[in-house]
Amino acid sequence: MSKERVLITGAAGFIVSCMVQYLNEQGFENLILVDDFGEETKRKNWEEKKFNCIVERISFFDWLEEKKPKVDFIIHLGARTDTTEFDYEVHRTLNYNYSIEVWNYCTANQIPLVYASSAATYGDGTLGYDDNHEIIDKLQPLNPYGVSKNEFDKWALQQTNQPPFWAGIKFFNVYGPNEYHKERMASVIWHSFNQIKKDGVVKLFKSHRADFKDGQQLRDFIYAKDIVKVIDWLMNEMLHESWTYQKNGLYNLGTGNARSFEDLVKATFSALDLQPNIEYVDMPLDIRDKYQYFTEANMQKLKKAGYTEKFYSLEEGVNDYVRNYLKQLKVY
């Protein structure tokens, strides 16, 4: 059993509840979980996990001040992630201001930190998908969510007072268990699975660009089980001081291999032992001008930092997700 006490924000959500489960499996049970735990749709994501205590997001910083807990590591993944929420103040409050408070707490108490950034910071990809600090000021995200994440990245890089070790992780297109509550914002696999069960057909967006055929829009899809393994590796590197301050900074986290939505849907049908049946529909106007047609993480920086594990292929990840979770309505 690990003795380290780890504090995790966003713990009732999709990726983070997977993180908690993975940490439990690695022997971490002395966990402080932070989130809005009043959302019933997320309850099954966290209620059977092993942890020390839960803290409501709204009272988190007051709780820290009052309890002064011993904390060895913070995984800050809590955020407002809805890319169709266009009120920037919502994102600024939860993704920028809140993150500054977490950072300052880690700095004041010399606690290593891993936090969630996003590939949404890269906008339409004009400047590429390199986790190079030199381009951060030039990036133009396509929505308020991406803006809020990039603004915090910029702020973090400007700080002379920092946590001893830290990494901001730019998640690409994550899919996997525990996203039942996300509805419209759930992965295409989740939507595909439900469309197949209901109608036997999956509807994909048509391309509205001449240089992409329908269904050939490309994304760097990464399985949630790979995300949590990378964060666990970062945490162990930092806790055991294998990490150095020179490695502090922003890191892409995708597979480094873009795949099409058509590939994704075909893998979903295959996991259900069915032949593909795809219909193409017009993209909603509210997202048409803010749609990314291609994302692919440059993963050299993380590899150079020492991460060597192989990622799930798209087919392997979808097969595990569909057969072992969606079909059985299970959480991880």
Contact at 8 Å (CB) between 80 and 47?
no
What is the spatial distance between Cα 91 and Cα 81, in angstroms, rounded to a whole number? 8
Q: What is the 3-state secondary structure (H, E, C) of 190-256?
A: HHHHHHHHHHCCEEEECCCCCCCCCCCCEECEEEHHHHHHHHHHHHHHHHCCCCCHHHCEEEEECCC
The conformation of residue 310, written as its DSSP 8-state character, comes to P
φ/ψ of residue 114, rounded to 5: -120, 130
- The residues annotated as belonging to the active site are 145, 182
**228 token code pair:** 């949590």
Cα 143 to chain centroid distance, Å, stands at 17
DSSP conformation class of 49: S
Fill in the amino acid letter for 151: E
Listed in sequence order, the residues at least 6 apart from 285 whose beta carbon sits closer than 8 Å to its beta carbon are none
Distance CA 68, CA 26 (A): 26
Separation between Cα atoms, residue 12 and residue 99, nearest integer Å: 18
- Give the distance from CA 262 to its chain's centroid: 22
- Dihedral of CA atoms 180, 49, 106, 95 in degrees, nearest 10, equals 10
